[in-house]
Amino acid sequence: MDDEIQGEVVELGDLQPLNGKQPGTFLRSKTCSSCGYGVKEKGDLVCRFGPPHATFIAVPHQQVMPTAQGPRQVSVMKIQNFSGFPLVQPDQWCGKWEATRK
């Protein structure tokens, strides 16, 4: 069963599971794949709870530089910025989970 918790049994006294479910079910069921903020974009799952994040990445670039022998193309690293919503894994969990909107 998916909802069973493996490990040793711990006596909880008078405490009862929430909503009649086994402990741990709450965390496993409220993951990014079932969250209203989780959206598929080009095959990736992204979280749209907050604004997009900016990321700066150094990428290879060909540039013409003056040299003693005349202009030459050289490889340099160019900083480019990309922005997008954070990538998440389907089984991740966070405190901002919200039921899927329809």
> CA of 9: how far to CAs of 15, 18, 23, 68, 69, in Å?
14, 17, 12, 77, 78
Task: Give the model confidence (pLDDT) of 74-97 as tens digits.
Answer: 999 999 998 999 999 998 888 888
23: how many CB neighbours lie within 10 A of its CB? 13
Asked if residue 37 lies in contact with residue 100, where contact means CB atoms within 8 angstroms, the answer is no
Is residue 35 included in any domain, yes or no? Answer: yes
Query: Does residue 48 lie in a domain region?
Result: yes
Using the predicted structure, report yes or no on whether residue 101 has a pLDDT greater than 90. Answer: no
Domain membership flag for residue 24 = yes
Q: Is the pTM of the predicted complex or chain greater than 0.85?
A: no
In a domain, 12, yes or no: no
Rounded CA separation 48/43 (Å)? 15
Total domains, the chain? 1
Instruction: Tell me the residue range of the domain where 58 lies.
Output: 18-84
